[in-house]
Amino acid sequence: MRTENNTQSRNPQIRTRKKYRIKSKFRFITSMIIMIGLLVGGISLITGMNKSFALTQPQFTEVEVCYGDTLWDIANTYKSDDTDTRRAVYEICKANDIEASDLEPGMVIRVPEKL
């Protein structure tokens, strides 16, 4: 019969822990940073935390439409000098969800301040 000096063979309940050594601190730190980045990115992707919102709200001037006013006249009044009038009419229509033919006297429309 052969006897072994190994403690594990005599008592299988005693386990020795294997010791690990870090051979390269740079590789270890780099891999940990990459893993943490992937973990944070994955969690934010799943939870929807990667959406951004505007910090400022668009500013509008409210204008009451009088009899005889056209959207072209209102756009010419409130646009800047370097803006095309057609573009200003489009922006006003888009901000109010209307067509140019929908204007009626007494109607209040919003005109974007940055035209």
Residues 68 and 103 in one domain: yes
Tens of pLDDT along 33-64? Answer: 999 999 998 888 888 776 766 667 778 999 99
Residues 103 and 67 in one domain: yes
Which domain range does residue 98 map to? 60-112
Strands (E), the chain: 60-64, 108-112
Residues 48 and 66 in one domain: no
Q: Is-above-0.75 flag for pTM? A: no
Residue 13 included in any domain: no
Residues 40 and 73 in one domain: no
